[in-house]
Amino acid sequence: MKEAKSLNSIDELNMPKNIRTYYKKRVESFGELVAYGRELAMHRFLKPFPATLVAALDEAGFIRHDLDNRTLRVIQLYCAVDEKRFYSFFFDPEVYETIKPVTDEQIGAILQVLDYVLGPAGRRAIVNCYGLEGTMMSYDRIADQLGLQREEVIHMLRHAIRKLRSATKCYYAGCYHPLPSLYGFFEPVQVEPGTIETLRLSVRCYNCLKRAGINTIADIINLSKDQWPQVRNLSRRDLEEIERAVRAVEGHEAFSILS
């Protein structure tokens, strides 16, 4: 399979002139064009211009054929959860060309993460949509199984993806990202001592503290009781969670927010 750098000009691809002109105006490098085509191929988009690009890259040898459907579905889930981070999968030839089909062990690890982050309905919707336990199902079929309307299923899936995206930003899912790496398996998260990541707070608490510029345990301790109400979206229950987490840290057993 060819690397992106082997493409010297878009004119080398077998595409109509109007489509070549379209991409010349919108793509800064050939590497981005190839990465975009690979991503479209994974998602199997059928719009006229993308489909033409995928076909041209496929004919020129830039698209892989050896990945099974199960791996493609997990890749789609990666892109949905963390599109920015996983863009490197399509752009980096070393990663793209050495990716291996997903294993049952990796699928099992992903399901464990879904159990940890999502509720039963959200988990089932994700599993059925991306075929993690069998056949990939349409929105209509998932709606029939859950006894919901199609629009409700779409909303549920979007909410589940948002929860998974939020979980990738903190230590909430344990010592790895919510979706284990396909080529590393259980990506470790490097956590610096003294940061709020070590407290293993819920996604809600973690995000509220981050938005308020509170990044370390020292920041939490130094915040006066009068300042806590100014931290947006923290309920009494959240404050109790933060209080318990800090008290569990050696040397801060007497820490108090509410009392």
Digit-coded pLDDT (tens) for 114-147: 888 888 999 999 999 999 988 889 999 999 988 9
- 216 with 159, same domain? no
The residue with greater pLDDT, 193 or 126, is 126
Name the β-bridge partners of 188. 176
Mean pLDDT, the chain, rounded, equals 84
Q: Domain range spanning residue 62? A: 4-96
Final residue belonging to a domain, choices 74, 96, 118: 96
In sign, the C-alpha dihedral spanning 238, 244, 248, 251 is positive
pLDDT value at residue 73: 87
Is the pLDDT assigned to residue 185 strictly greater than 70? no
Is the pLDDT assigned to residue 259 strictly greater than 80? no
Q: Is residue 191 part of a domain?
A: no
pLDDT value at residue 2: 85
Q: Is residue 173 part of a domain?
A: no
- 27 with 84, same domain? yes
pLDDT value at residue 175: 45
Cβ neighbourhood burial of 25 (10 Å; 0-12, 13-18, 19+): exposed
Q: Is residue 257 part of a domain?
A: no
Q: Is residue 179 part of a domain?
A: no
Query: What's the number of CA atoms in the CB half-sphere (13 Å) around residue 46?
Result: 0
- 91 with 119, same domain? no
Structural domain count, the chain: 3
Per cent of the chain over pLDDT 70 is 90
CATH of the domain at 200: 1.10.150.20
Helix (H, G, I), strand (E, B) or coil at 203: helix
pLDDT value at residue 154: 94
Q: Tally DSSP H helices, then E strands, for the chain.
A: 13, 0
Q: Is residue 78 part of a domain?
A: yes
CATH of the domain at 156: 1.10.10.10
Q: Is residue 62 part of a domain?
A: yes
CA distance 232 to 143: 35
Say which residue the tokens 């919901």 belong to.
148
Q: What is the pTM of this model?
A: 0.67
| Interval 229-252 mean pLDDT | 90
Final residue belonging to a domain, choices 34, 67, 96: 96
pLDDT value at residue 171: 45
- 8 with 80, same domain? yes
- 211 with 242, same domain? yes
Spatial contact of 63 and 33, defined as CB atoms under 8 Å apart = no
Digit-coded pLDDT (tens) for 44-100: 766 778 889 999 999 999 988 888 888 888 888 888 887 766 777 788 877 788 888
